[in-house]
């Protein structure tokens, strides 16, 4: 199988390096194309894949094409790709808010997987949700899952609406965790800790709690009950959060991201349809 990654930016490079380092493909079967001169030089230094500066030298050879450019560049790129495509090629898009229909129409193809990764993919701990058009076979899906899993773990979802929902949980989620971390760092600094010590206290606390959570089937509530005892310090903090409705506010934030993902998808689709009208 020949895989082409289009767009060697943060995410494209992450995928290309992860796939290149895995045993999934040989170096000769992995290609990266980018149009930025500066990016091409960086990509060539990696040595894990073939680097192409022209679509015409790589796109016709590809069985799977991973599209990792910004959504704003999607329409122009797809117009450029369309005359060079051949039957049977499969397209995986990680472009936020760009729907499967938009890609099917833009490229005139039927096999499309839409995936939503998240930032920890950079360190191999990504969470990617994905869904596929009906023409993608089970065998092809299994191969795509292996490809996505080179950056962490993945989950196949039944609909694109669920991809938008997962954007509100795992896609945008790392930022909510950083928000919570920042709040705890701010509290630590106010309590008089040096920045370096605050970083250690907060970072190691998150890492430990996450490790505990992932190492058992206990729910977050079960773990809270293990830390908090009646009349104790943790109970005081949790009661304060409950009194201030923090749980409901975090849920509302996740829904805000979900709604925004739906809005962005509708906008991109509207623009594409306008361009083809
Ligand atoms: N970053 C995340 O956490 C995250 C999470 C989920 C999904 N995503 C999605 O991942 C995609 C990539 O994001 P990113 O942060 O990696 O973007 P990025 O760093 O800007 O990378 C995109 C790369 O594609 C190049 N490019 C643009 N148009 C092109 C074209 N027509 N042909 C070939 N290359 C082209 C860009 O070059 P120029 O710089 O010259 O334009 C750039 O090198 C986005 O669609 C985003 O929605 C990102």
Pocket test for ligand 1, best of 5, 7, 32, 174 (most atoms within 8 A of CB): 7
Q: 91: pLDDT confidence band, cut at 50, 70 and 90?
A: very high
Domain with CATH 3.40.50.720 in the chain: 3-164
Q: Quick check: 151 pLDDT over 70? A: yes
Are 10 and 26 a contacting pair, CB within 8 Å? Answer: no
pLDDT of residue 23: 81
Element (H, E) at 240: helix 233-243
Domain with CATH 1.10.3730.10 in the chain: 173-244
Q: 273: pLDDT confidence band, cut at 50, 70 and 90?
A: low
Query: Which range (55-69, 158-172, 176-190, 262-276) has the least confidence?
Result: 262-276
Q: What is the CB-side half-sphere exposure of residue 255 using CA atoms within 13 A?
A: 6
**All residues at 6 or more sequence positions from 80 whose CB lies less than 8 Å from its CB, including other chains:** 55
Question: Distances in Å between the alpha carbon of 151 and those of 28, 41, 114, 117?
Answer: 20, 23, 16, 9
Are 223 and 209 a contacting pair, CB within 8 Å? Answer: yes
Q: What's the predicted TM-score (pTM) here?
A: 0.91
Are 152 and 127 a contacting pair, CB within 8 Å? Answer: yes
CATH 3.30.43.10 is right for the domain spanning 3-164: no
pLDDT of residue 219: 97
Q: Whose CA is nearest to atom 5 of ligand 1?
A: 118
Q: Whose CA is nearest to atom 27 of ligand 1?
A: 69
Write down the architecture of domain 173-244 according to CATH. Answer: Orthogonal Bundle (1.10)
Residue of 197 and 271 predicted with greater confidence: 197
Cβ atoms within 10 Å, residue 239: 11
Q: In whole angstroms, give the CA distance from residue 14 to residue 89.
A: 22
Ligand 1 nearest atom to the CA of residue 174, by list position: 3
Q: Quick check: 270 pLDDT over 80? A: no
Q: In whole angstroms, give the CA distance from residue 164 to residue 203.
A: 29
The per-residue pLDDT for range 232-246, each reduced to its tens digit, is 999 999 999 999 999
Average pLDDT over the chain, rounded to an integer: 94
The per-residue pLDDT for range 26-41, each reduced to its tens digit, is 778 999 999 998 999 9
Q: Quick check: 83 pLDDT over 60? A: yes
């Amino acid at each position: 199988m020949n895989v082409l990654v289009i767009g060697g930016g943060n995410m494209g490079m992450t995928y290309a390096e992860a796939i290149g380092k895995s045993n999934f493909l040989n170096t000769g079967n992995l290609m990266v194309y980018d149009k930025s001169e500066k990016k091409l030089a960086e990509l060539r230094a990696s040595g894990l894949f073939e680097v192409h500066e022209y679509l015409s030298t790589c796109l016709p050879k590809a069985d799977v094409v991973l599209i990792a450019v910004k959504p704003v560049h999607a329409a122009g790129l797809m117009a450029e790709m369309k005359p060079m495509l051949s039957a049977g090629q499969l397209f995986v898009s990680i472009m936020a808010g760009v729907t499967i229909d938009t890609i099917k129409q833009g490229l005139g193809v039927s096999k499309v997987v839409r995936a939503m990764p998240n930032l920890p993919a950079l360190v191999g701990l990504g969470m990617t949700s994905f869904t596929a058009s009906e023409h993608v076979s089970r065998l092809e899906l299994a191969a795509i899952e292996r490809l996505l899993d080179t950056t962490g773990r993945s989950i196949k979802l039944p609909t694109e609406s669920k991809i938008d929902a997962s954007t509100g949980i795992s896609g945008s989620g790392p930022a909510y965790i950083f928000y919570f971390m920042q709040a705890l760092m701010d509290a630590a600094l106010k309590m008089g800790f040096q920045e370096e010590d605050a970083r250690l206290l907060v970072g190691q606390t998150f890492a430990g709690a996450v490790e505990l959570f992932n190492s058992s089937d206990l729910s977050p509530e079960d773990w809270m009950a293990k830390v908090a005892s009646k009349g104790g310090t943790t109970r005081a903090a949790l009661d304060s959060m409950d009194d201030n409705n923090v749980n409901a506010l975090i849920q509302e934030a996740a829904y805000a991201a979900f709604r925004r993902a739906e809005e962005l998808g509708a906008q991109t689709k509207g623009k594409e349809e306008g361009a083809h009208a």
